[in-house]
Amino acid sequence: MMPRTRLAVALILAMAFLFCLRSESWDPCVQVVPNISYQCMELNLYKIPDNIPTSTKILDLSFNHLNHLNSHSFSSFPELQMLDLSRCEIQMIEDDAYQGLNHLSTLILTGNPIESLAPGAFSGLSSLQKLVAVETNLASLEDFPIGHLKTLKELNVAHNLIHSFKFPEYFSNLPNLEHLDLSNNKIQNIYHEDLKVLRQMPLLNLSLDLSLNPLDFIEPGTFKEIKLNELTLRSNFNSTHVMKICIQGLAGLKINRLVLGEFKNERIVKSFDRSVLEGLCNLTFEQFRIAHFSEFPRSDTGLFNCLVNVSAISLLSLNVDSLEALPKDYRWQHLELTKCNFKQFPTLKLNSLKKFVFIGNKGMSTFTEFELPNLQFLDLKRNHLSFKGCCSHTNFGTTKLKHLDLSFNDVITMNSNFLGLEQLEHLDFQHSNLKQANDFSVFLSLRNLRYLDISYTNTRVVFHGIFVGLVSLQTLKMAGNSFQNNLLPDIFTELTNLTILDLSKCQLERVSQMAFHSLPKLQVLNMSHNKLLSLDTLPYKPLHSLQILDCSFNRIMESKEQELQHLPRSLALLNLTQNDFACVCEHQSFLQWVKDQRQLLVGAEQMMCTQPLDMRDMPVLSFRNATCQMNKTIISVSVLTILLVSAAGALVYKFYFHLMLLAGCKKYGRGESTYDAFVIYSSQDEDWVRNELVKNLEGGVPPFQLCLHYRDFIPGVAIAANIIQEGFHKSRKVIVVVSQHFIQSRWCIFEYEIAQTWQFLSSRAGIIFIVLQKLEKSLLRQQVELYRLLNRNTYLEWEDSVLGRHIFWRRLRKALLDGKPWRPEGTADADSRQQEATTST
């Protein structure tokens, strides 16, 4: 027992030891791009892997255990351009740790608890442009050894412990620095001396982010004559009073873009009044953005007195009910109002405004016309607006509009063909409900339009001239709509410059052969998520520039070999995934084509069979042509055998009743007949049979016993068996009542054919033909044998007159008496009764 216990303990210890080793060869890095990019994230590595190619340019080692970076730790990767060491528990970085990485442009050290950073830790990084040291326990910029990184453009030291805003002297050696992120540190006060370096060597393109620092004070004059590209102050102040003091401390600053406000989840200021922004009058700036103030003053245009001369203003997530008419002399060229909870559409009359963005303001529903004579760019998406009359220059007060976005709104009724908006180049209606867009050539005047999106607008294309006039259009998106009869017609005749066309989710089942004949420049065509049953490539033949064709998510089973030749030679990518491919020998040529065109087909490995059942969900590429190469001799013999068996079966089936009749003749041939005649007639003529034939023959003298199917056939026996056994075998004669209904009845013709066989087998002249009405020869010729018999044999014609009826019954009784057994009793007055019965009828 002991040896087994020791063995188990030894195995457990060995497995634990091997698990701790975590050999790179067992748990290799993910090869994103061969020899270029590798991801080694979360592999519990304790050292740099040694099985990665020296040609690697992008290396992700994040979330490992590289506690200590020694000198020349990455010397094996001289081509490295991006290195991610996020959250690797790095505590110490020695001198020359990155030595040899002359091409490294991005270094990420986020989330490492660095305790020791050698003075030469970043030496050798002669091409570094971006350094991210977020959450690295950095307490001061003074001790950060980056003064030699002259190529550095972006420095991110957010979420650290920095208390001082003072720029170190070495910043004078960073002439290319463009972005400095000091957000979420511990900076409270900013003094004049802190920006001494910037005055000595101004960084004209520097963007500075101080958000989430608990600012209390900015010394007046600190930013005087300082030039910055952008300054961001968000969620910095615990009151409007502090905010006002700090804004006044920015006096003299010359800046391109100023961003004030708070973050959505970091709102500190409880109230806001117009005096807060008065300090902005002492700044010189071009663009202003303010965001996420919950208690923003409403309907107070005085707020913008210090913003008269800015070129761009953006209001984001502010509770603004309305915006009163702004003075026309404002120099704003760009105005953005996003998610500001407007109750009514703002009335604007700004002569200088060129770009107006009004997004996500869902507190209203009606669009109000405005007057912006120089407006070129208008974005009104996601407002749930309704337009009763769209679109013309009177709606927007301008004739210079080039960009119009009305997407994600409510009902837009089209009753104008963009009169006065002929300069439009970009038009977007997606996910709005277009009305009357299919009634006339609504885009007729937009000869300069380059981009049109009418996706998911509930448009049903019936009018073929819907796109007339769009001679310059390059991109057309109309996904999620529908076409009459689910057929894509020839509606793109004038779109000769079109390069991108999206027809996905349009319920298309067929494509007209001429649908794309006028699109020689088309490069991208999306036909996915439709109901196409086959890959009919002929419509795509004229697309000489087509590079990408997406036919995924259809119902395509196959494509004929000759049709595949019509695919444009320029085609580089074809997507046929998620279709209903039938992997059967009948489609062998198409399945072989799929194998031969793997480079052309996107995701060829994901193309799955849906038929037959035994290959469902199997890759199309797994289909083997050998399964179709059966021995031709075996196939021929099998087919011949089947044909012979089928022919024999057909003959037996065809003459089955005739064989039954033959057997019956032998059985009943010498017996006495039960009936004088078996009557064959159409059910449509049953009234005549009952009221005339039965009444006169069975009630006459001598009486004749007739076999009638409705009366004499045995219940529970098959109709055909009753016809043969009760009708023919037990009857002396057969009466055939010929009429138009008779000729058109399959059962009547069947009974007649059996009667012929019966006559032949019994050697009797026992068929009596009665023609009820004159028949058209063209109708009678449909039954060739019957037509010949009536021409060769004497038949009775029913004539509904006194003389005609007398002759008819006399001749019929005479024919029935032929062969009837003689009975002496009662024959003396037979003739007189017969005469009497005939006369009475």
Q: For 274-293, how does the pLDDT look when each residue is reduced to its tens digit (9 = 90+)?
A: 788 888 999 999 999 998 88
CATH architecture designation of domain 530-628: Alpha-Beta Horseshoe (3.80)
Q: pLDDT of 214-245, one tens digit each?
A: 999 999 999 998 999 999 999 999 888 899 99
pLDDT at 396 over 50: yes
Looking at residue 19, what is its pLDDT? Answer: 43
Closest CA to 231 of 239, 215, 149, 240: 215
- Spatial separation of the C-alpha atoms in residues 702 and 124, rounded to whole Å: 134
Looking at domain 675-816, its CATH class is: alpha beta
Alpha-carbon dihedral sign for residues 308, 313, 316, 321: positive
Q: pLDDT of 452-503, one tens digit each?
A: 999 999 999 999 999 999 999 999 999 999 999 999 999 999 999 999 999 9
Q: What are phi and psi of 646, to 5 degrees?
A: -65, -40
Q: Residue 349: pLDDT band by 50, 70, 90 thresholds?
A: confident
pLDDT at 178 over 80: yes
Is omega for the bond preceding 3 within 30 degrees of 0, making it cis? Answer: no
Q: 3-class DSSP state for residue 631?
A: coil
Structure tokens given for 193: 């001396």
Q: Which helix (H) or strand (E) holds 564?
A: helix 561-564
One DSSP character per residue, 511-561 reads: E-TTTTTT-TT--EEE--SS---S---GGGTT-TT--EEE--SS------H
- List Cα–Cα distances, 767 to 745, 756, 764, 795, in angstroms: 19, 8, 8, 10
Closest CA to 138 of 83, 67, 187, 98: 187
Rounded mean pLDDT, 101-106: 96
Please indicate whether residue 218 or residue 342 has the higher confidence score (pLDDT). 218
Q: Distance between the two ends of the chain, CA-based, in angstroms?
A: 120
Is omega for the bond preceding 702 within 30 degrees of 0, making it cis? Answer: yes
Rounded mean pLDDT, 418-442: 92
Please indicate whether residue 16 or residue 126 has the higher confidence score (pLDDT). 126
Looking at residue 762, what is its pLDDT? Answer: 64
Beta strand 312-316 with 284-291 is parallel
Q: Residue 341: pLDDT band by 50, 70, 90 thresholds?
A: confident
Q: pLDDT of 763-805, one tens digit each?
A: 555 788 888 877 666 666 666 566 676 766 777 888 878 888 8
Q: Residue 587: pLDDT band by 50, 70, 90 thresholds?
A: confident
Q: Residue 660: pLDDT band by 50, 70, 90 thresholds?
A: low
365, 412 Cβ separation under 8 angstroms: no
- Least confident segment among 263-277, 364-378, 632-646: 632-646
Looking at residue 633, what is its pLDDT? Answer: 53
Looking at residue 831, what is its pLDDT? Answer: 46
Question: Which stretch, 164-168, 423-427, 724-728, has highest mean pLDDT?
Answer: 423-427
For domain 311-473, give the CATH number. Answer: 3.80.10.10
Please indicate whether residue 836 or residue 417 has the higher confidence score (pLDDT). 417
Looking at residue 470, what is its pLDDT? Answer: 96
What single DSSP character describes residue 389? E
Looking at residue 456, what is its pLDDT? Answer: 97
345, 364 Cβ separation under 8 angstroms: yes
Question: Which stretch, 233-247, 497-511, 535-549, 560-574, has highest mean pLDDT?
Answer: 497-511
Q: 3-class DSSP state for residue 816?
A: helix
Looking at residue 752, what is its pLDDT? Answer: 75
728, 678 Cβ separation under 8 angstroms: yes
Exposure of 551 in the CB half-sphere (CA atoms within 13 A): 28
What single DSSP character describes residue 683? G
Looking at residue 18, what is its pLDDT? Answer: 42
- Least confident segment among 11-15, 357-361, 560-564: 11-15
- List Cα–Cα distances, 565 to 514, 550, 560, in angstroms: 17, 18, 9
Residue tagged 């290799």 (tokens): 28
Write out the residue limits of the CATH 3.80.10.10 domain(s) in the chain.
Answer: 311-473, 530-628
- As to burial, measured by CB atoms within 10 angstroms (0-12 exposed, 13-18 middle, 19+ buried), residue 616 is exposed
What single DSSP character describes residue 58? E
178, 153 Cβ separation under 8 angstroms: yes
Structure tokens given for 353: 């405004």
Q: Residue 654: pLDDT band by 50, 70, 90 thresholds?
A: low
Rounded mean pLDDT, 412-441: 91
Write out the residue limits of the CATH 3.40.50.10140 domain(s) in the chain.
Answer: 675-816
pLDDT at 679 over 50: yes
Looking at residue 484, what is its pLDDT? Answer: 94
Contacts 24+ apart (CB under 8 A), 107-110: 107/83, 107/131, 107/132, 108/62, 108/83, 108/84, 108/132, 109/85, 109/133, 109/134, 109/136, 110/86, 110/134, 110/135, 110/136
Rounded mean pLDDT, 244-265: 92
Q: pLDDT of 691-703, one tens digit each?
A: 888 888 888 888 8
Q: How many CB atoms lie within 10 A of CB 431?
A: 17
Looking at residue 780, what is its pLDDT? Answer: 64
Share of the chain above pLDDT 70, in %: 86
What single DSSP character describes residue 281? G
Looking at residue 835, what is its pLDDT? Answer: 45
Please indicate whether residue 615 or residue 838 has the higher confidence score (pLDDT). 615
Looking at residue 832, what is its pLDDT? Answer: 43
pLDDT at 91 over 90: yes
Closest CA to 117 of 91, 147, 93, 153: 93
- Spatial separation of the C-alpha atoms in residues 182 and 159, rounded to whole Å: 8
The mean pLDDT value of the chain amounts to: 85
Q: 3-class DSSP state for residue 625?
A: helix
Rounded mean pLDDT, 590-602: 91
Q: Residue 717: pLDDT band by 50, 70, 90 thresholds?
A: confident
Structure tokens given for 781: 């010729």
Share of the chain above pLDDT 90, in %: 51
Beta strand 30-33 with 37-39 is antiparallel
Q: Which helix (H) or strand (E) holds 571?
A: none
Please indicate whether residue 645 or residue 629 has the higher confidence score (pLDDT). 645
Q: pLDDT of 295-339, one tens digit each?
A: 666 555 567 888 888 999 999 988 777 776 677 778 899 999 998
Looking at residue 692, what is its pLDDT? Answer: 86
Give me the numbers of helices (H) and strands (E) for the chain, helices first please: 18, 44
415, 390 Cβ separation under 8 angstroms: yes
